[in-house]
Structure 1
Amino acid sequence: MTIRVRPRAATDLDACARLLIEVHGTDGYPVEGVADPVSWLTPATAAGAWVGELEGAVVGHALVGTPTATDDAARLWKEREPLAQILVFGRLFVGTAGRNRGVGERLVRTAMTFAAEQEQRLVLDVMDKDKAAIRLYERLGWQHIGTTTHHFGQGNRTEAHCYVAPS
Structure 2
Amino acid sequence: MCLGCGVIRERSKDDLESCVGFLRDVHELAGYPLNWPADARAWLTPPGLLGAWVITTEDGRVAGHVALTAGSDGSALVERLFVDPKATGGGLGRQLLDHAVLMGSELGRRVCLEVADNCHAAIGLYRRAGWREIGRTPIDWGADQASAVLHFEPSS
Q: TM-score, normalised by structure 1?
A: 0.82
Q: For residues 93-118 of structure 1, what are the alpha-carbon distances to aligned partners after superposition, in whole Å with 9 as ceiling and x for unaligned?
A: 11112101111000000001001111
Name the residue aligned to 2:62. Answer: 58
Structure 1: segments with no counterpart, 5+ residues: 69-77, 79-84
Q: Which runs of 4+ in 1 moved over 4 A?
A: none
Partner-residue secondary structure (3-state), 1:160:
strand
Count of residues in Structure 1 that have an aligned counterpart in Structure 2: 152
Cα pair 1:46 1:66 within 8 Å, conserved: yes
Name the residue aligned to 1:49. Answer: 52
Alignment of 1:6 with 2:33, yes or no, is: no
Cα pair 1:149 1:157 within 8 Å, conserved: no
Partner-residue secondary structure (3-state), 2:139:
strand
CA shift, 1:166, in A, is: 3.5
Name the residue aligned to 2:25. Answer: 22
CA shift, 1:3, in A, is: 1.4
For residues 133 and 111 of structure 1, the distance between their equivalents in structure 2, rounded to whole angstroms, comes to 15
How many percent identity over aligned positions?
Answer: 34
For residues 40 and 82 of structure 2, the distance between their equivalents in structure 1, rounded to whole angstroms, comes to 13
Cα pair 2:70 2:77 within 8 Å, conserved: yes
Cα pair 2:113 2:153 within 8 Å, conserved: yes
Q: For residues 12-63 of structure 1, what are the alpha-carbon distances to aligned partners after superposition, in whole Å with 9 as ceiling and x for unaligned?
A: 1111111111111111110121331101001221111111111211111111
For residues 140 and 113 of structure 1, the distance between their equivalents in structure 2, rounded to whole angstroms, comes to 14
Name the residue aligned to 2:103. Answer: 114
Structure 2: segments with no counterpart, 5+ residues: none
Alignment of 1:164 with 2:153, yes or no, is: yes
